Structure 1
């Protein structure tokens, strides 16, 4: 691990990831596991959110107690597979504002093509968590962060289920200020740009499409 990359090695994370890698795991089970693992990854990704204190009354006494400071968290899902992580994170932070960036990968060039972008206002004043299950080439992820920075975001973290070394390096070069939180750093990309050993196409497995 480094300042740029955090691998969450909690036993529950690793167990659930193994079940998700197994090709015989059903669509329903894959979707449920993704929601569960997103809660655990989100706990790590959001551990440094800023806090302030307010005065409250417990049943026994008055006290000053910590609460989240500043504007609400912005969650940004990279469509479409990011939505599988989004649901779990929203359970942790139900008041979060939500945005979507639509990018697809040109299979010939492996470059991202934008088709949609709708994000919360005032990103400069919000912590931003970008979610996408797979950090493969890193091109789409870097492009999504580019779009968010153009809209003022600067406190950005990136959460993914799996990362390839190539994607981590691409993000490190493009956005060294963005911390990546993942469940595993896999071996490599294959000649089609898929993570190996990986778990296949996360969107297809989540939604039951081919």
Structure 2
């Protein structure tokens, strides 16, 4: 089993809220239907969005309550961008957007070469003015870490204010790869599983997230 670099482990935020852990366990079950898997992913993503947005900047606005005028806090959701790594990342979008509906959405298409396990880009579409925005990259799995690292490298070309990575599951190999490539990008996850198998799948994991979200094989 690959050990986790201590510095890399310190860069990982484990979201261990009981509801998050409960829903993740239900998703792991092989008998979970496509419908239930997709529904649970939306619910779990919403819960994780609260944690990943915990340090979002607030600004003061003046409002009228039914009784008087006051100064209150709001976030500017339009400055936040959720970037989905296609295709499985799209399964997380509904959940996070239910919490921050004003956020913008970007997409980056990457596939993993079955021989080299390296990421190959085929699509890239982002909102305008990325240098003014904070990015949260979403993908259910941080496995080998190659696709995630490649996505973040590409996104850094847009010069955003900050980047975070949000996933359901990761493992020592993925954590180490991401930290080696991008030590400035924190990882938010619901679980750190044991290891990768020879095909680059997380063990014990939950199978292929994209196939389980979309009902494909």
Equivalent position to 1:203, from 199, 206, 210: 210
In 2, Cα distance between equivalents of 1:90 and 1:70: 10
How far the C-alpha of 1:70 sits from its partner, in A, is 8.1
- TM-score after normalising by structure 2: 0.94
In 2, Cα distance between equivalents of 1:160 and 1:23: 19
Residue 163 in 1 paired to residue 187 in 2?
no
Equivalent position to 2:94, from 87, 96, 114: 87
Unaligned 5+ segments in structure 2 are: 1-7
Checking the alignment, whether the CA contact within 8 Å between 1:163 and 1:184 is kept in structure 2 is yes
Q: Number of aligned pairs?
A: 210
* Deviation string, structure 1 residues 36-93 (Cα, Å, up to 9, x no partner): 0000111100111111111111111211100114852111000000000011111111
Equivalent position to 1:193, from 197, 200, 205: 200
In 2, Cα distance between equivalents of 1:55 and 1:3: 39
SS at 1:156 equivalent: strand
Checking the alignment, whether the CA contact within 8 Å between 1:70 and 1:125 is kept in structure 2 is no
In 2, Cα distance between equivalents of 1:135 and 1:149: 18
Residue 139 in 1 paired to residue 124 in 2?
no
Instruction: Provide the aligned C-alpha RMSD in A.
Output: 1.3
SS at 1:98 equivalent: strand
How far the C-alpha of 1:128 sits from its partner, in A, is 0.7
Structure 2 residue aligned with 1:13: 20
Structure 1 residues 31 and 72: CA distance shift in structure 2, 3 A: same
- TM-score after normalising by structure 1: 0.97
Task: Find runs of 4+ consecutive structure 1 residues off by over 6 angstroms.
Answer: none
* Deviation string, structure 1 residues 115-170 (Cα, Å, up to 9, x no partner): 00001121111111100000000000000001110111240111000001110111
Structure 2 residue aligned with 1:149: 156
Residue 105 in 1 paired to residue 112 in 2?
yes
* Deviation string, structure 1 residues 99-120 (Cα, Å, up to 9, x no partner): 1000000011000000000011
